[in-house]
Structure 1
Amino acid sequence: MLELDFAQSIGLIAFLVGASAFLHQNGNRFRLHLTLFQVVLCSHFILMGAFTAAFGCGISALRSYASTKTKSTRVMWFFISLLWLMGLPSLQHSYEIITIFGASVATWALFQAEGIKLRLIILFNSFCWLTNNLLLGSIGGTLMESTFIIINLYTISRIKLSKSAI
């Protein structure tokens, strides 16, 4: 059984911060809240010694914030390139590549998508990170992504229902 140490405690804090991000129906608020979540989660992964995941989260925090300011394709490709250039050399386990792929797809979504399409692509990213966190043994990360999947599906249904009511 995994013990709850300082690193795992930070992961649980990230879980609480992140879960509330997925309740936002407004895309910009969602992006800003994701930025805060990713900073806390980056700290968790550094403490866990999972540097590929930490690089991914750090870059994702910057990316999420940038996506609130611009929809530039150049900026989007910069972040996708950065994910691969920083992530590949730090791979410690073959399964970690799914975090880079998921983060790349999520980057595209944050710059190019809105509404339900944005949420569905972020949902795919959550499944990538859930797989990584299960294999890594991250309690907070596993709880987090499982919850994100549920809350994101709930928010997608709320968006769909609000559009149906119009």
Structure 2
Amino acid sequence: MPELDFPQAIGIVAFLIGAAAFLHQDGHKFRLHLTVFQIVLCSHFILMGAVTAAIGCGISALRSYASTRTQSSPVMWFFIGLLWVMGLPNVEYSYEILTIFGASVATWSLFKAQGIHMRLLILFNSFCWLTNNLLLGSIGGTMMESTFIIVNALTIYKMYRTSKQIII
């Protein structure tokens, strides 16, 4: 079992910040909250020595913020390309590719999807990161993605129920 040290404590702080992000049903607030979460999580991965994950989080923070300002395809493709160009050379373990792939899917969703569709793609991203965090031994990261999966699934369900009530 991983030891609870300073890097792990930062991961737990990121977990608390991130868990609150998934409670937002408003897409704009959700994206802004994700930005703050990803900045803190980036520092956790830097302290853990997980370079690929840190790069993914740093780029994702910039991407989440940019997605609050524009839905431009060129901007989206810039961030996806940046994830691969900066992340791939730093991959030490095959499972780290999941972080790049998941972040790419999340990037597409934040720029091109809305509502439940965006949330489902973010859910896929969470499963990619959960696998990485389990294999890395990140306590906060594992708690975080597990919670994100649960909270995001519940929010998707609430959004689905609300959309069905509006239609009826």
* Counterpart residue number, 2:17: 17
Q: Which amino acid aligns with 1:108?
A: W
1:95 is matched with 95
SS of corresponding position for 1:23 = coil
* CA deviation after TM superposition for structure 1 residue 133, in Å: 0.2
Residues 100-133 of structure 1: per-residue CA shift (max 9 Å, x gap): 0000010000000000000000000000000000
Match of 2:49 in 1: 49
1:113 maps to which residue? 113
Query: Amino acid of the residue matched to residue 18 of structure 2?
Result: G
In structure 2, how many angstroms separate the alpha carbons of the residues matched to 1:2 and 1:70? 40
State the SS of the aligned residue for 2:24. Answer: coil
Which residue identity does 1:34 align to in structure 2? L
| Structure 1 counterpart of 2:147 | 147
Q: Identity percentage over the alignment? A: 73
**Pairwise CA distance, 1:158:** 0.9
Q: Do structure 1's residue 83 and structure 2's residue 83 form an aligned pair? A: yes
Give 1:33's aligned residue: 33
What is the RMSD computed on CA atoms of the aligned residues? 0.5
Q: TM-score, normalised by structure 2?
A: 0.98
> Structure 2: 5+ residue runs without aligned partners?
none
| Structure 1 Cα separation of the partners of residues 3 and 63 of structure 2 | 32
Tell me the number of residue pairs that the alignment of Structure 1 and Structure 2 aligns: 166
Q: For 2:28, what is the secondary structure of its paired residue?
A: helix
**CA distances 1:18-62 after superposition (whole Å, capped 9, x unpaired):** 000001000011000000000000000000000000000000000
Cα distance in 1, alignment partners of residues 152 and 94 from structure 2: 27
Task: Return the offset for 1:164.
Answer: 1.5
In 2, Cα distance between equivalents of 1:160 and 1:88: 36
What is the TM-score normalised by the length of structure 1?
0.99
Report the counterpart of residue 158 of structure 2 in structure 1.
158
